[in-house]
Amino acid sequence: MTVAVKREPGCELCELAAPVAWSGPKFSVIIVDDASYPGFCRIIWREHVREMSDLEQQDRLLLNEAVYQLELAVREVMQPLKVNVASLGNVVPHLHWHVIPRYADDAHFPAPVWAAAAREPDASTLAARRALLPELARAIARRFH
């Protein structure tokens, strides 16, 4: 018996169009196509819920572990100075977590990535970080399979 997953018409995360690095029955992991932040990832809950508190305890624990595993994959491959983990959902009220590698030379450091840029990152440094994305995808697959 297949259980229907709750969807919200017009929700961009319910109708996920981005390439998926890993997909399971409860959530998907994507590597965000962000030229300034190679390695920026999201965990997106499949069912349309707004908050962690909308989930049953077992699902909250599952999602928390997924965020932890994704952070480990990002740290392993991208070697950031810091990792930002955030669940905002102000613009898209669908439960998702951002896992963002941060570096002292990134466009916004030490401010959040959503603040005004403080500098223009070096193009060759960004290219070197983008070159790590296939390995990041493999690391994500290893952690979630």
Q: HEC profile for the chain?
A: CCCCCCCCCCCCCCCCCCCEEEECCCEEEEECCCCCCCCCEEEEECCCCCCHHHCCHHHHHHHHHHHHHHHHHHHHHHCCCEEEEECCCCCCCCCEEEEEEECCCCCCCCCCCCCCCCCCCCHHHHHHHHCCHHHHHHHHHHHHC
pLDDT band at 64 (very low <50, low <70, confident <90, very high): very high
> What letter represents residue 124's amino acid?
S
Domains of the chain listed by start with CATH number: 20-144 (3.30.428.10)
* Averaged pLDDT, 22-32: 95
Does residue 2 have a pLDDT over 80?
A: no
pLDDT band at 4 (very low <50, low <70, confident <90, very high): low
pLDDT the model gives residue 32 = 95
Please state, for a pLDDT cut of 90, what percent of the chain lies above it.
82
